[in-house]
Amino acid sequence: ENLRIGFVGLGHMGGPMAANLAKSGYEVVGFDLAPAALEQARRDGITIADSANDAAAGADVVVTMLPSGKHVLDLYAGGLLAAATPGTLFIDSSTIDVADARAAHDLAVAAGHRSVDAPVSGGVVGATAGTLAFMVGGSDEDFESARPLLDVMGRKVVHCGGPGVGQAAKICNNMILGVSMIAISEAFVLGEKLGLSNQALFDVASNASGQCWALSTNCPVPGPVPTSPANNDYQPGFAAALMDKDLGLAANALRSNGVPGELGLRAAEIYSRFHQETGGGLDFSAIVTDIRNRANE
């Protein structure tokens, strides 16, 4: 199809996502504030606009991949929506607060546009390979319009519900992941203290009721799962800084919706501290080293 796509935010994720759209034949007009991102995008076949608003002007679809809800709302209110032809489909793939996603949707609709929230999991590896998982919130009709593009950038696309519900799915899933990684890590360190080897605990728990992704795929101790980041000095993977961010969004949603999520709130505190103390660049499974260090204090 000869759709023109405006793409704003060509960073670690947005850059390769936009490149995949261009590679598959879409006309992609992109913008980012960082000159290095623009240079790479140009090499990837993306036409560079002079501003975000220029990227949206004349586009059929506008995709945003930005750091936070504030960035999305500031751009939407700051002229991006006004620059687009009425009826344009806005796809925000940033991970943002559910309330911000709903506010962004309302702004888009008030400006005569259509919109879905479509956050992703799969990281830079998935963005590059075009194998991201998309969690989408919006109407059936808008979801169907977005789907062909999401299929280019991803492998799994799930329509989760109405506006903001894609973001809800993302933070609920990552809250499960953060809490379960801490639980698995505490169990390994306790096992070490009790004379239980990492391998033996893995052999038991991965075949029993303790089984989960944090154990059987992203195992936080080196050895049992050779492909887990623990075997590679905890190079991400999924950086602790991003887990901190996502748990912060989950904690915010727990509080504002009156849900007594004691473990989710505690996990947010634990990853916030770990992020501050380490810089957040390691894979989130490195939390096991923090627990071990504290055990030896």
Question: Which residues sit at the interface with ligand NAD, rule CB under 6 A?
Answer: 8-14, 31-34, 37, 52, 65-67, 71, 75, 94-95, 120-121, 123-124, 242, 245
The minimum distance between CB 185 and ligand NAD, in angstroms, equals 21
Closer CB to ligand NAD, 4 or 292, in the complex: 4
Nearest one of 157, 178, 160 to 169, comparing CA atoms: 160
Parallel, antiparallel, or unpaired for β 89-92 and 61-64?
parallel
* Cα–Cα nearest to 119, from 153, 140, 94, 100: 94
Q: Which is nearer to ligand NAD, 123 or 210 (CB)?
A: 123
> What backbone torsions phi and psi does residue 242 show, to the nearest 5 degrees?
-75, -35
Q: SS3 of 34, please?
A: coil
What span, in angstroms and rounded, lies between the C-alpha atoms of 72 and 18? 17
State the Cα–Cα distance between residues 163 and 142, nearest whole angstrom: 10
Nearest-Å Rg of the Cα atoms of the chain is 20
No. of helices (H) and no. of strands (E), the chain: 14, 9
Residue, CB closest to ligand NAD: 11
Instruction: For ligand NAD, give the closer residue by CB, 187 or 253.
Output: 253
Q: State the helix-helix crossing angle for 165-193 and 98-110, rounded to 10 degrees.
A: 170
CB of 109 to ligand NAD, least distance (A): 21
Task: Provide, rounded to whole angstroms, the least separation between the CB of residue 296 and ligand NAD.
Answer: 31
In the complex with ligand NAD, the residue whose CB is nearer, 30 or 191, is 30
Min CB(255)–ligand NAD separation in Å: 20
Q: Which is catalytic among the residues 70, 170, 193, 245?
A: 170
Tell me whether residue 160 or residue 242 sits nearer to ligand NAD (CB atom): 242
Nearest distance from C-beta of residue 199 to ligand NAD, angstroms: 30
Is 23 considered catalytic here?
Answer: no
Residue 253, both tokens: 């949603």
Alpha helices in 90-229 (DSSP H): 98-110, 123-129, 140-153, 165-193, 198-205, 213-216
Which amino acids are annotated catalytic?
A: 170
